[in-house]
């Protein structure tokens, strides 16, 4: 079993504190969901876990099986078994989907132990069929011109090929049609097991109808303010966030209200 522990994590962007003490422990064989109003720091948490340079960790810790993740470069984090499916996946011109995947897989293997092309292609074909993706997508440039839903499905293809220990999936359900949502969920459920833990950021119970989370957390104003089981997500869907704010005496000052 592996464990990812986030302790009292504070993160700033351009000197503005976004995360104000996040505590979270993930084990493999568990699926956690994080919900919360817009602008409360969910994607910031995802980026901080993966080591995006813009997000400055000012205090707290992240450890993977006791190893200090914050000391690792982005590629070392990936090699250690961390994976992020971004809310807005980037397009990379000039690198085909297949080439990208093969490099990502090989980056996690020892030198001299690279995956054989045959084995890679066989596995890629199998996974793409499972995710009902057209074959030609493997030869297209990474995410270039992919529709929103195709990008999300492609993130799950990466997940299934790379087989990380821990995946952070940021709004993997956004922009998916009903069939795509089922396929993406099928992929995540297929990954479920001893060697895999997952943190899914989502706004909707809908996703959680297909993937039953073991734990649900609510993030507000840069902190995890409430945790529970899947019933918590159902209550949020039905009642929104006001009751939590009232329960905790949180004032309504989330970033979304800043527009004016
Ligand atoms: N690169 C950045 N530069 C400046 N501000 C940023 C940056 N990234 C995030 N922020 C700010 O940090 C706050 C938290 O953003 P974050 O993307 O983590 O929210 P979120 O919880 O993922 O919201 P949503 O549900 O809308 O995706 C917001 O106020 C946002 O404007
Ligand atoms: Mg976000």
Query: Hey, which of 13, 15, 22, 55 would you mutate to test ligand 1's pocket, going by the most ligand atoms within 8 Å of its Cβ?
Result: 13
Q: How confident is the model at residue 111 (pLDDT cuts 50, 70, 90)?
A: confident
| Tokens 């074959």 found at | 135
Q: Count Cα atoms within 13 angstroms, Cβ side, for 108.
A: 17
Written as six digits, the tokens of 118 are 């045959």
18 lines ligand 1 (CB under 6 A): yes
Written as six digits, the tokens of 14 are 């351009």
For 130-159, how does the pLDDT look when each residue is reduced to its tens digit (9 = 90+)?
A: 999 999 999 999 999 999 999 999 999 999
For 23-53, how does the pLDDT look when each residue is reduced to its tens digit (9 = 90+)?
A: 999 999 999 999 999 999 999 999 999 999 9
41 lines ligand 1 (CB under 6 A): yes
| Nearest-ligand number for the alpha carbon of 170 | 2
Kindly give the residue spans of alpha helices, DSSP state H, lying in 16-147: 42-50, 74-80, 97-107, 117-130
Is residue 175 a contact partner of residue 149, using CB atoms and an 8 Å limit?
A: yes
For 169-219, how does the pLDDT look when each residue is reduced to its tens digit (9 = 90+)?
A: 999 999 899 999 999 999 999 999 999 999 999 999 899 999 999 999 999
Neighbours of 117 (CB within 10 A): 10
Q: Fold for 3-92+163-254, please state it.
A: Rossmann fold (3.40.50)
Ligand 1: centre distance to CA 107 (Å): 30
**Residues contacting residue 131 through CB under 8 Å, at least 6 positions apart:** 153, 156, 157, 160, 183, 184, 186, 187
Mean pLDDT value across the chain: 93
Q: Which atom, in ligand 1's list, is nearest to the CA of 46? A: 18
| DSSP character at residue 115 | P
Query: Hey, which of 19, 22, 33, 40 would you mutate to test ligand 1's pocket, going by the most ligand atoms within 8 Å of its Cβ?
Result: 40
pTM recorded for the entire structure = 0.93
Outline where DSSP puts E strands in the chain: 3-13, 16-27, 31-35, 55-64, 67-68, 82-85, 92-96, 141-142, 166-170, 197-201, 215-220, 223-228
């Amino acid at each position: 079993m592996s464990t990812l522990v986030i302790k009292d994590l504070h993160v700033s962007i351009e000197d503005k504190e976004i995360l104000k003490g996040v505590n979270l422990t993930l084990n493999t064989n568990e699926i956690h969901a994080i919900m919360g109003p817009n602008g409360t720091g969910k994607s910031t948490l995802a980026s901080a876990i993966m080591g995006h340079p813009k997000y400055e960790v000012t205090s707290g810790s992240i450890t993977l099986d006791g190893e200090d993740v914050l000391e690792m470069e982005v590629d070392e984090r990936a090699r250690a078994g961390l994976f992020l499916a971004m809310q807005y996946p980037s397009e990379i011109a000039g690198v085909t989907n297949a080439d990208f995947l093969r490099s990502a897989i090989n980056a996690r293997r020892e030198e001299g132990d690279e995956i054989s092309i045959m084995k890679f292609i066989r596995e890629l074909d199998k996974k793409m069929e499972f995710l009902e993706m057209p074959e030609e997508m493997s030869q297209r440039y990474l995410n270039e011109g992919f529709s929103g839903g195709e990008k999300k499905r492609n993130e799950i293809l990466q997940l299934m090929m790379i087989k990380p220990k821990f995946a952070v999936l940021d709004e993997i359900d956004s922009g998916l049609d009903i069939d795509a949502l089922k396929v993406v969920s099928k992929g995540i459920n297929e990954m479920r097991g001893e060697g895999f833990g997952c943190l899914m950021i989502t706004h909707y119970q809908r996703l959680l109808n297909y993937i039953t989370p073991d734990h649900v957390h609510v993030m507000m104003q840069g902190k995890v303010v409430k945790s529970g089981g899947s019933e918590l997500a159902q209550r949020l869907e039905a009642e929104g966030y006001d009751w939590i704010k009232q329960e905790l005496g949180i004032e309504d000052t989330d970033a979304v209200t800043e527009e004016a």
